Structure 1
Amino acid sequence: MCLVVGFGCGSPEPRIDTSDGLRQAIATAKAGDEIVLANGTYTDLALDFTGRGTEGKPIRLVAQEKGKVFLEGESYLRLSGEHLVVEGLVFRNGHTPTSEVISFRTAKDSLCTNCRVTECVIDNYNPSERFESDYWVGIYGRNNRFDHNYLTGKRNQGVTLAVRLDSEESRENFHRIDHNYFGERPLLGSNGGETLRIGTSHYSLSNSNTLVESNYFDRCSGEVEIVSSKSGANEFRGNTFHECQGTLTMRHGNGTVVDGNFLLGNGKPNTGGIRIINAGQQVTNNYLYGVTGHRFRAALAIMNGVPDSPINRYHQVTDAEARGNVFIDCDHIELGVGSDGERSAAPERSLIADNVFVNRKRSDLFTVHDDISGITFRDNLLDEQLTAPQEAGFRNIAIELAGAEGLLLPTGLPAADSIRTRMADRGTPENCGVDWYPIREEGQVFGNGKTIRITPGENTLSDAIAQSAAGDVIALSAGEYLQTKAIDLRHPLTITASGGEKPTLLFRKTSFINLENGGALTLQGVRVDGRECLDQPLNSVIRTSRYSMVNNYKLIIENCDFTELDVNHSFDVVRVAKHTFADSIVLRNSTFHNVSGSVLPLHQENDDIGIYNAENVVIENCDFDQIGQAALHLYRGGTDESTFGPFLTIDRCTFDEVGMDRRNRSDSAIRLYGPQSVSITNSIFDDSAPVRLHLVVGDPVISLADCVFSGGTELLDNGAPYTTENLLFLPEPITTLPDGRAIGSQLQ
């Protein structure tokens, strides 16, 4: 029997009895029945699908036409029973009011057995609060299948898809998760950003027996664990990871198989590979290309464990195998990674054999952090210039590479032959997800829209922005632009000079531009002058939303001048709020003069739980002169290891009379607390407050080179003086750079 529920044929209006009719249809459905949800948009639909079909006659809940049934607002789906099938629904323009968008249970003791969800879409279905946690899919019960679905744009805290083992009926479940397209998951900047998690530490000594095969993970970068296997006896086969900034991690549980997967970093920064923890893990016949991450993100990371580890920490690696894998142009293989006073249990009774390592750009591929005598190495092949971690078990040969179905593989080697036999089963954009819903590009893109040219005047800029769309460019001719009202920006936009003299931006509100959720800004070739600003507390040129932003933002400032931002003692160039997160902030070829507050005060996430305000901060070829408080205050507290930022680069910059205001509570010109990657090079710090480094979180990578400190400016590491041979300390202030130009003039 086929029951059509909803809008009805040809009718543009919903029937009054949609919800009641749907509940009645579900309540009376029998094995073999099909319930058709008519085309249309359903708002706040709480859908409980229960019933008992049979293997040959499931009960089906399907869209009338795929791609034309939309569940919006606070809609969600729960199902329980046996042999149920859901097909063709789209969740968008809203968020779940419960803990899951799709749940394979309707109550704690009402689970699914032999049920299937296929060809459904969840598209940017997020709450407005960044750290309001939910799952998009929670799988319970046994023998269920989740396949050919498209999930994209999860931005809030919580796992995209979780297999739950919190009842006896959900363990040894033999679920199948296959041919799904997991679209972009942006950086969360916090723990809780996994795309797929199977189990939790509480049940990690139980087997899940979940099969994850032939899925496509596209730029899933929520946190370091893209896939977190926290149970035993799972299998990962034929999955493709495309430019994901994280790893396939066997975090807890034993006896998991990772075979025939394709991890394509393509040389993108911080892309990750496979991480081995616990006992009996099998990592075989995988192909990794251009994976650049290090430590926990390494192409292959075999961890140290904690002796007699608690269930939620790191169990020792024992009886593991990494065999027959091919690594092409990957940057790091790390053994005993995480070794410290707690993680002192080195791997035992493990094997690394028959692998192929090729990298034509470097020789130091391997990093050994602890005793590796518990690992047997056998018949591993290295490209000619690579250095082995030990002589036994490695052989350098000339390895030739050839193209094969879009991949670069060694020729004439057994490991490569094994990869070739698995290529037909790998997940691709063509065989994963659905073919009736467009693949979304989640990233913010500048400059791909129209150009709007405007002339000077009062509020002409805000008028133009009100008519703009994502990717547009606002081109300013020379002259003065006065804003008497703040600009709320909710899409990516470029504001640039159209040529010649820099236009001047003036404003009278507490902020000039507010980056609201979805907003991003490139500012180029302008002069920002604070002389029209009112004497009000907490002034800033650019600020983020005062509320949580679930969308990451980008801020790029190039070839700009900021001056006379001193109407009061707390005038910042940029002011950020708690629970807002920048994918990147870039200051390049710009000057900052006479600023009473800070330029980049990125220290609002101060709860010491591993959350921070910006992932990538780049400051290049900039001058900071007479800045009252810290030019940069970058903070990441806590010891959480699920994230690996912030990343900071400062190059070719001058800092003169920075941080000297008596109200500067940080007592610093630059204050860095807990960033994970710091590079400060070719820069001068003169007659300024100290540069303070507190770099004790995680295992940070620090590069300080070719810098000059003079006029009493100190470099302090955790409060103690920091000295190194390539840093020059001078006792007196300097007024000119080594090439003769005055301090405060831009470097070239």
Structure 2
Amino acid sequence: MKVHQLLLGILLSAASSLALAAQYKVANQSEYEIAAQKLSAGDTVILASGEWKNFEIVFKGKGTKEKPITLTAETKGKVVLTGQSNLRLAGEYLVVSGLVFKDGYTPSNSVISFKYNDKELANNSRVTEVVIDEFSNPDRFESDYWVALYGKNNRFDHSFLRGKRNKGVTMAVRLNTEASQQNHHLIDHNYFGPRPTFGSNGGETLRIGTSHYSLTDSYTRVENNYFDRCDGEVEIISVKSGKNQLKNNVFFESRGTLTLRHGNGNVIENNVFLGNGVEHTGGIRVINRDQVVRNNYLSGLTGYRFGSGFTIMNGVPNSPINRYHQVVNAVVENNTLINVENIYLGAGSDSERTATPKDSRFKNNLIINDTKKSPFSVFDDMSGIDFVDNLVNFEPSAIKQGLKKKSVSLRKDKNGLLVLKGGKYGAQLDKVLEKNDAGPNWYSKADLKKSFDSGKVIAVKPADSVLSETLAQAQSGDVIELASGEYVARKILAVHKTITFKAAQNAEVVIYPERSSLFEIQNLGSLKLQGITISGQRSPDSSGNVLIRTQKWGMYNNYDFIMHNSKIVDLDINHSFHFFDAGARSFADLIELQGNEFINITGDLLRLNRETDDLGIYNAEYVVLKNNKFDGVQGVLIDLYRGGRDESTFGPHLAMTDNTVSQVGLGKRNKLDASIRLHGVQHSVVENNLFNNSELIKIEHTVGDPQTYIRNNVFKNTEKPTAVELVFKQTPTAIIEQNEYK
């Protein structure tokens, strides 16, 4: 009898619990506000499918482990938050799922925040299968987070974050109060999609802690996440706290490194770094005490210095909390490095960073390069690292002890990774995360950006307004093919899509702009010109015209500008008629000029010099000039500027080869007295060019270990290039050699 009464009591209790759980389906913000005021354990709020514009969600409540409070979409992926929207959650055992943020940006400092205010945080809560896609502030230097984790024991999983373009970490674990420290968060199975090169500090994808709280332990676990082309800056992940575990993650063609920047006792294990030879792809950078780097697989990484495939840094003696603490008791073992171009030991060694690693070991690692060239570069005394039984296929040089050279035979394992047959060396991974296993399965990971010439071809003939009308109707990726004849551009052609203007085969095409500019590259725009002549003869008779420019302010999408086999003539209707001018805060992934002629220009050719506030910001990542003819450019050919002392970026890069430069830089308004000025440029190659009766090349090195090569050029009636070091008192490091002076 007592048993029956007990069972009856349990059933009645369960029924009562079920009866108390409520489900609210809401169709607008007012209905949500009403429902949100009466939530209790076990309740669910369902947002109706559709667009929710300018919706700042506050989701608060106290659920339990068995009965969480849930906020979800009627259909996952069909609830789209646009405009100025965000989400704040606070309380206990909350679950959010199925939402999409796109076509807008957060009005606050985060899109998703695990707190309502500084006193009300979320604990034991979960955000899962949420999408934040291109949800960036239109001011590139207005900083925010996309996800800010506070509180304790929270989980962020199976979500999709792509395309953050403005300043600020994509995802941050915050330890700024005791209530968020030793937090035991779990970040797992997320897809961190492409983050474009930011061109300044502040482009990390994930940061755990900050330097202020870096001696505090976080106990955050980052597991089974896929980092796809996360290129924001030199630190993909910046660990700035202790006792974190980063395991089983995949880094695919991501420029930068997983950096143990601050904090002690972190474990980096079972991760896969696949660079595939992409420039600046890096691996792991070690700083601080008690770090463990074990059983990781690194392949095809090309990065160098702080962004190299593997780096152990020098520290600062008695370092302040925000600088570089000495590496002590690091364990680096059973890692595989295949075709990793650079392993830097004692990186950053200088008059400040003099504390070399100590009490550390480097053991049972497998290091194989197809070139059979040693990847090691040693910048200080490495006797504090015990190198034990590492297997390599090259002749040890910079490091000899503990490296055993041997011809090896590698095979592919079930994951497609190269492993040593029957050996104890290198990484052994049971399973490697697939791209499709990260993020929600209902949201496409296909790239959004249209490439040049990927759309339809639109054939046009000369006619009034044909250029502007055709451009307005074209779709991103289309090619506007011009038949022979003269085209008069009566309007500035606003380019806010990826578009190509191309002369038809064997066509002779001349465009005459009648405004102060012919093209303005605007947000979302990229421009390619091919086989076209552009003449300034009908341009306004006023100073300061610019043939091609970006919009003057407000671009937050990176752009490309490419011009091949074209001719630019007679930009001389008045003084200071420039060819290309980048607006402030605009950023080009690529500017490429190849096979062109530039004749009679009273201004500058490439003005990439707008970021003179010296914050490490610059206007273009790659500038390529190949096989062009420059004749009679009165201003500077290239003014490429990156000021400040920040070391978090990759560029700018300049490659200038096989060009003919005549009568360049001699105009009286050229205040630089140079044909080329490179200030703070990180990688420059100027080779196989002819400079005839032109101003000299000026190189101004700042920070970041710049690499400059000026070689195999002919300088006729042109002064020798000059190079200066503006930050460090040292002999200029630019390599100027094998040039001919006449």
- Please give the TM-score of this superposition, normalised by the length of structure 1: 0.94
637, 654, 661: which one pairs with 1:655?
A: 661
Find the counterpart in structure 1 of residue 6 from structure 2.
none
Deviation at 1:724, TM superposition (A): 4.6
Find the counterpart in structure 1 of residue 177 from structure 2.
167
CA distance in 1, matches of 2:199, 2:735: 32
Deviation at 1:24, TM superposition (A): 2.3
Find the counterpart in structure 2 of residue 76 from structure 1.
86
Find the counterpart in structure 2 of residue 494 from structure 1.
500
Secondary structure of the corresponding residue to residue 179 of structure 2: helix
Q: For residues 148-197 of structure 1, give each alpha carbon's deviation from its aligned partner in whole angstroms, at most 9, with x where no partner exists.
A: 00011111101110000000010000000000000110000011100000
Find the counterpart in structure 2 of residue 745 from structure 1.
none
Find the counterpart in structure 1 of residue 77 from structure 2.
67
Q: For residues 660-709 of structure 1, give each alpha carbon's deviation from its aligned partner in whole angstroms, at most 9, with x where no partner exists.
A: 00110111100111100011110111211121111232201122210111
CA distance in 1, matches of 2:108, 2:736: 55
Find the counterpart in structure 2 of residue 689 from structure 1.
695
Find the counterpart in structure 1 of residue 649 from structure 2.
643
Structure 2: which 5+ residue stretches go unaligned? 1-20, 726-730
CA distance in 1, matches of 2:232, 2:527: 22
Find the counterpart in structure 1 of residue 399 from structure 2.
390
The answer to whether the Cα contact below 8 Å between 1:686 and 1:713 also exists between their aligned partners in 2 is no
Matches within 5 A, 1:8-407: 18-383=28-393, 385-407=394-416
Deviation at 1:525, TM superposition (A): 0.8
1:5 and 2:15 aligned: no
CA distance in 2, matches of 1:97, 1:712: 54
Secondary structure of the corresponding residue to residue 666 of structure 2: coil
Q: Report the more deviating stretch, 519-528 or 338-347.
A: 338-347
Secondary structure of the corresponding residue to residue 33 of structure 2: helix
Name the amino acid aligned to 2:23. Answer: L
Matches within 5 A, 1:452-491: 452-491=458-497
The answer to whether the Cα contact below 8 Å between 2:109 and 2:144 also exists between their aligned partners in 1 is yes
Find the counterpart in structure 2 of residue 708 from structure 1.
714
Secondary structure of the corresponding residue to residue 272 of structure 1: strand
The answer to whether the Cα contact below 8 Å between 1:277 and 1:305 also exists between their aligned partners in 2 is yes
Name the amino acid aligned to 1:122. Answer: I
CA distance in 2, matches of 1:49, 1:407: 44
Secondary structure of the corresponding residue to residue 528 of structure 2: strand
The answer to whether the Cα contact below 8 Å between 1:3 and 1:25 also exists between their aligned partners in 2 is no
1:518 and 2:527 aligned: no
Q: For residues 103-149 of structure 1, give each alpha carbon's deviation from its aligned partner in whole angstroms, at most 9, with x where no partner exists.
A: 00000010111000000100111121111111000000000000000
Deviation at 1:573, TM superposition (A): 0.9
Secondary structure of the corresponding residue to residue 518 of structure 2: strand
CA distance in 2, matches of 1:416, 1:449: 49
Q: For residues 189-240 of structure 1, give each alpha carbon's deviation from its aligned partner in whole angstroms, at most 9, with x where no partner exists.
A: 0111000000000000100110000000000000000100000111100000
CA distance in 2, matches of 1:138, 1:452: 46
Name the amino acid aligned to 1:399. Answer: V
Deviation at 1:417, TM superposition (A): 7.4
Q: For residues 417-474 of structure 1, give each alpha carbon's deviation from its aligned partner in whole angstroms, at most 9, with x where no partner exists.
A: 74233xx2x4321211011111141444111111100112332111111110111011
CA distance in 2, matches of 1:151, 1:391: 44
Secondary structure of the corresponding residue to residue 470 of structure 2: helix
CA distance in 2, matches of 1:625, 1:515: 26
Q: For residues 26-54 of structure 1, give each alpha carbon's deviation from its aligned partner in whole angstroms, at most 9, with x where no partner exists.
A: 22111111111111111111111000011
The answer to whether the Cα contact below 8 Å between 2:633 and 2:663 also exists between their aligned partners in 1 is yes
Q: Relative to 1, partners in 2 of residues 1:299 and 1:415: Cα closer, same or farther, differing over 3 Å?
A: farther
CA distance in 2, matches of 1:634, 1:315: 34
Deviation at 1:502, TM superposition (A): 3.2
The answer to whether the Cα contact below 8 Å between 1:401 and 1:408 also exists between their aligned partners in 2 is no
Secondary structure of the corresponding residue to residue 315 of structure 1: coil
The answer to whether the Cα contact below 8 Å between 1:668 and 1:691 also exists between their aligned partners in 2 is yes
Find the counterpart in structure 1 of residue 10 from structure 2.
none
1:726 and 2:738 aligned: yes
The answer to whether the Cα contact below 8 Å between 1:184 and 1:442 also exists between their aligned partners in 2 is no
CA distance in 1, matches of 2:197, 2:222: 23
Q: Relative to 1, partners in 2 of residues 1:712 and 1:221: Cα closer, same or farther, differing over 3 Å?
A: closer
Secondary structure of the corresponding residue to residue 428 of structure 2: helix
Name the amino acid aligned to 2:604. Answer: S
Deviation at 1:387, TM superposition (A): 3.3
CA distance in 2, matches of 1:344, 1:444: 48
Q: For residues 491-548 of structure 1, give each alpha carbon's deviation from its aligned partner in whole angstroms, at most 9, with x where no partner exists.
A: 1111111111431111011110110000001111111111111113321111001112
Deviation at 1:577, TM superposition (A): 0.7
Name the amino acid aligned to 1:407. Answer: G
CA distance in 1, matches of 2:232, 2:475: 27
CA distance in 2, matches of 1:250, 1:604: 33
Name the amino acid aligned to 1:301. Answer: T
The answer to whether the Cα contact below 8 Å between 1:325 and 1:415 also exists between their aligned partners in 2 is no
Find the counterpart in structure 1 of residue 630 from structure 2.
624
CA distance in 1, matches of 2:494, 2:650: 31
Secondary structure of the corresponding residue to residue 116 of structure 2: strand
Find the counterpart in structure 2 of residue 435 from structure 1.
441
Name the amino acid aligned to 1:353. Answer: K
Secondary structure of the corresponding residue to residue 4 of structure 1: strand
Name the amino acid aligned to 2:300. Answer: G
The answer to whether the Cα contact below 8 Å between 2:709 and 2:735 also exists between their aligned partners in 1 is no
Deviation at 1:718, TM superposition (A): 2.4
The answer to whether the Cα contact below 8 Å between 1:409 and 1:416 also exists between their aligned partners in 2 is no
- Determine what percentage of the aligned residue pairs are the same residue: 44
Deviation at 1:416, TM superposition (A): 6.3
Find the counterpart in structure 2 of residue 12 from structure 1.
none
CA distance in 1, matches of 2:117, 2:40: 21
CA distance in 1, matches of 2:135, 2:718: 53
Q: For residues 347-403 of structure 1, give each alpha carbon's deviation from its aligned partner in whole angstroms, at most 9, with x where no partner exists.
A: 1111111100111125131111111111110111001x3534332101111122222
- Please give the TM-score of this superposition, normalised by the length of structure 2: 0.95
CA distance in 2, matches of 1:86, 1:453: 50
CA distance in 1, matches of 2:79, 2:400: 62
Q: Relative to 1, partners in 2 of residues 1:632 and 1:121: Cα closer, same or farther, differing over 3 Å?
A: same
Secondary structure of the corresponding residue to residue 107 of structure 1: coil
Secondary structure of the corresponding residue to residue 34 of structure 2: helix
Q: Relative to 1, partners in 2 of residues 1:416 and 1:492: Cα closer, same or farther, differing over 3 Å?
A: farther
Secondary structure of the corresponding residue to residue 515 of structure 2: coil
Name the amino acid aligned to 1:420. Answer: L
The answer to whether the Cα contact below 8 Å between 1:356 and 1:415 also exists between their aligned partners in 2 is no
CA distance in 2, matches of 1:363, 1:491: 44
Deviation at 1:346, TM superposition (A): 1.3
CA distance in 2, matches of 1:49, 1:402: 52
Q: Relative to 1, partners in 2 of residues 1:349 and 1:493: Cα closer, same or farther, differing over 3 Å?
A: same
Deviation at 1:272, TM superposition (A): 1.1
Deviation at 1:723, TM superposition (A): 8.6
Over the aligned positions, Cα root-mean-square deviation in angstroms equals 1.5
Q: Report the more deviating stretch, 603-612 or 432-441.
A: 432-441
Name the amino acid aligned to 1:726. Answer: Q
- Say how many residue pairs are matched: 716
The answer to whether the Cα contact below 8 Å between 2:712 and 2:737 also exists between their aligned partners in 1 is no
Secondary structure of the corresponding residue to residue 377 of structure 1: strand
Secondary structure of the corresponding residue to residue 419 of structure 1: coil
